[in-house]
Amino acid sequence: MSALEAGAKAPDFTLPTMGGGSFSLSGALQQGPVLLVFYKISCPVCQFAMPYAERLFQSAKGKNASIIAVSQDDQKSTAAFMKEYRLTLPTALDDTKTYPASNAYGLTNVPTFFLVNTSGVIEISSVGWMREEVERMYEALRAEPNPSPLFRADERVPELKFG
């Protein structure tokens, strides 16, 4: 089974978060669109992509949208990863034995990004690192019309990287 594609209904899920609460997709969709970013800390492409997910989170502040990272690792390992990569975006924990959210979305690779609209339909489905898709998500989620660019001029950001 491959990852759900754009146009598919996003499966609802509730997962515990790093902050001790829980994240519910259906609850978050009541506030606006949701960007789900699934990752695993040992994945080199995830290590590359997650700082950009953090930038997406920062650019969306002030807009009725949610960005949630979904870690496929335990809480202790995820906390160390977040500290190392300076991540502040909200992070949910997919159970490391059964992966209910990852399996519901048909994940076989990470990172995988899903932009879900308020109707619960996936607008963008992006497996691995796809710069063009990340830029589309940035345009859809940013709060300010002219914020700082997602990619800086001094960065070498590849078009594609597969996890």
pLDDT of residue 63: 83
Q: How many other C-beta atoms can be found within 10 angstroms of the C-beta atom of residue 18?
A: 18
pLDDT at 64 over 60: yes
pLDDT at 99 over 60: yes
pLDDT at 16 over 50: yes
pLDDT at 78 over 60: yes
pLDDT at 1 over 80: no
> What average pLDDT does the segment 13-21 reach?
95
Residue 133's pLDDT band, with cuts at 50, 70 and 90, is confident
**Contact (Cβ atoms closer than 8 angstroms) between residue 93 and residue 18:** yes
Name the nearest CA neighbour of 53 among 96, 91, 102, 100: 91
> What average pLDDT does the segment 132-152 reach?
75
Percent pLDDT > 90 in the chain is 67
Give me Rg for the CA atoms of the chain: 14
> What average pLDDT does the segment 143-155 reach?
68
Q: How far is CA 85 from CA 32, 55, 61, 89, 111, in A?
A: 27, 12, 19, 11, 15
Within 8 A by CB and 6+ apart from 135, the residues are 150, 151
pLDDT of residue 62: 77
> What average pLDDT does the segment 127-146 reach?
79
> What average pLDDT does the segment 42-70 reach?
91
Structural domains in the chain? 14-161 (3.40.30.10)
